[in-house]
């Protein structure tokens, strides 16, 4: 394959490790460097230190942000239009052959870039849940506004070649929302050892993630209650690491087995000090990256059936998965008493994440994208 020039535009992220994951798409950027010459540019609000600094309203998700997108879609200019033009200008100056856009929360930034160079938009596509369906109450006005906004976003997206998601379960939702072809470039996490020299606090069961989100907090609370119903609370300890805080479902828990730690400087020693990683969500959108993280740190993972399905986890091989809180509680207690199975699950999970979500898999997916451009 001839050397190509890739232009990568990404959000400036002041805290990529806010919930313990590696920086999103950093692995894609590294893999791209093996395929060609990469010109990487960041975009962020004024004062962020990004290569392209724009009005903060461009990244606003509330009413003001929606109005900006509508304004830009109908050709009335504004901060979003200027941001799109700045990205296009940077790409043109780089003389790139194709572009990868990691503006996953604002793919509409890529529309003018896509007119300049073949562009692939990496997005966060989670409009449909796995598991029980939530009832969405809305009136005719809110539905009408949502329809107008979706139409505007599709127009702003421009002629991007493909929408890129991080796992197969998101493809149908992405194609339905954006009316564009969707492809998969797998999400990856690093399995580097501790870098801070810190020693983790031993715990039987570790949960890492955003537990302000009720779907995570509710799942854990149900599992806690199931454990309390069958086992004394002083036997199996559970720690929650969530820099964003926790929802009231966990704050209201009165048992003795739960410890809420907040955020930590380095997750590696905390994983190393844990016997089991628990991912407790009974409702999941997209890929549960906390399962990938547990595998990457060579820990046995216990989770729910729906969460395991988002990353291809196989019950009894790479994870233990239950469909009810009682089943998950039973699996946790059985695994705590079986060190041999702990080792087998951990090693199988590590092998799977390195094979299916490692940088080699990402590079292969990128080669497929690039091959499509080269054959046109």
| C-alpha dist (Å) from residue 164 to 59, 94, 130, 282 | 20, 22, 19, 25
110 within 8 A of 119, measured Cβ to Cβ: yes
Q: What is the DSSP string of 322-364?
A: ESSHHHHHHHHHHHHT-HHHHHHHHHHHHHHHHHHSSHHHHHH
Question: Computed from CA positions of residues 285, 290, 296, 299, in that sequence, does the dihedral angle turn out positive or negative?
Answer: negative
pLDDT of residue 282: 94
What's the CA gap between 229 and 223, in Å, rounded? 10
102 vs 40: CA distance, rounded Å: 10
In the chain, CATH 3.40.50.2000 sits at: 4-188+358-374, 203-356
Per-residue model confidence (pLDDT) at position 173: 79
Q: Which two tokens stand for residue 177?
A: 């929302």
- Please, which contacts does 312-319 make with residues 24 or more away whose CB atoms are closer than 8 Å? 312/167, 312/352, 312/356, 317/345, 317/348, 318/345, 318/348, 318/349, 318/352, 319/291, 319/345, 319/349
Q: What superfamily does domain 203-356 belong to in CATH?
A: Glycogen Phosphorylase B; (3.40.50.2000)
Q: What is the pLDDT of residue 195?
A: 43
What sign does the dihedral 333-337-343-344 (CA atoms) show? Answer: negative
Q: Tokens 């004062």: give the residue.
A: 47
Single pTM value for the model: 0.79
Q: Give the H/E segment covering residue 373.
A: helix 359-374
Entry field: residues in the chain: 376
| Residues ≥6 apart with Cβ < 8 Å to 135 | none
Select 4-188+358-374's CATH number: 3.30.1180.10, 3.30.565.10, 3.40.50.10470, 3.40.50.2000. 3.40.50.2000
Task: Give the number of other Cβ atoms within 10 Å of residue 5's Cβ.
Answer: 15
pLDDT confidence of residue 15: 55
| C-beta atoms surrounding 351 within 10 Å | 13
- Give per-residue burial for 249-282: e unless 16+ CB within 10 Å, then b: bbeebeeebbebbeebeebbbbbeebbbbbbbbb
pLDDT at 287: 77
pLDDT in tens, the chain (376 residues): 445 788 888 876 655 544 444 555 777 888 888 888 999 999 999 998 999 999 999 988 778 888 888 899 999 999 999 999 999 999 999 999 899 998 877 889 999 999 999 999 988 665 443 433 333 445 666 667 777 878 888 899 999 999 998 877 778 878 888 889 999 888 766 654 444 566 788 999 999 988 998 889 999 999 999 999 988 877 899 999 998 889 998 999 988 899 998 888 778 889 989 999 999 999 887 778 889 889 988 999 999 999 998 888 999 999 999 999 999 999 999 999 999 999 999 999 999 988 888 778 888 998 888 876 654 5
SS3 track for 30-59: HHHHCCEEEEEEEEEECCCCCCEEECHHHH
């Amino acid at each position: 394959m001839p050397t190509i020039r890739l232009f990568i535009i990404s959000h400036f992220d002041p805290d990529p490790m806010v919930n313990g994951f590696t920086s999103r798409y950093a692995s894609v950027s590294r893999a791209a460097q093996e395929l060609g010459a990469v010109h990487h540019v960041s975009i962020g609000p004024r004062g962020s230190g990004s290569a392209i600094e724009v009005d903060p309203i461009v990244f606003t998700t509330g009413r003001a942000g929606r109005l900006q997108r509508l304004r830009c879609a109908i050709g009335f200019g504004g901060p979003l239009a200027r941001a799109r033009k700045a990205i296009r200008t940077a790409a043109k100056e780089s003389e790139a052959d194709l572009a990868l856009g990691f503006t996953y929360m604002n793919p509409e930034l890529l529309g003018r870039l896509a007119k300049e160079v073949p562009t692939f938009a990496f997005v966060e596509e989670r409009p449909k849940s796995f598991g029980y369906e939530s009832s969405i109450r809305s009136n005719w006005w809110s539905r009408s506004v949502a329809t107008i906004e979706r139409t505007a976003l599709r127009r702003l997206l421009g002629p991007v070649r493909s929408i890129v998601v991080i796992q197969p379960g998101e493809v149908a939702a992405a194609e339905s929302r954006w009316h564009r072809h969707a492809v998969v470039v797998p999400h990856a996490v690093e399995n580097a050892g501790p870098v801070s020299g810190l020693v983790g606090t031993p715990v039987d069961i570790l949960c890492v993630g955003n537990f302000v989100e009720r779907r995570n907090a509710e799942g854990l609370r149900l599992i806690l209650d199931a454990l309390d119903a069958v086992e004394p609370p002083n036997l199996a300890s559970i720690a929650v690491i969530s820099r964003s805080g926790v929802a009231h479902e966990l704050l209201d828990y009165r048992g003795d087995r739960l410890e809420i730690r907040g955020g930590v400087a380095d997750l590696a020693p905390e994983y190393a000090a844990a016997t089991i990683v628990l991912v407790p969500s009974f409702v999941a959108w997209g890929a549960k990256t906390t399962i990938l993280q547990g595998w990457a740190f060579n820990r046995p993972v216990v989770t729910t059936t729906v969460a395991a399905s988002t990353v291809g986890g196989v019950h009894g091989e790479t994870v233990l998965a239950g469909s009810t809180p009682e089943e998950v509680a039973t699996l946790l207690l059985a695994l705590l008493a079986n060190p041999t199975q702990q080792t087998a699950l951990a090693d199988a999970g590590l092998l799977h994440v390195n094979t299916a979500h490692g940088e080699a898999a990402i590079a292969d997916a990128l080669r497929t994208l690039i091959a499509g451009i080269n054959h046109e």
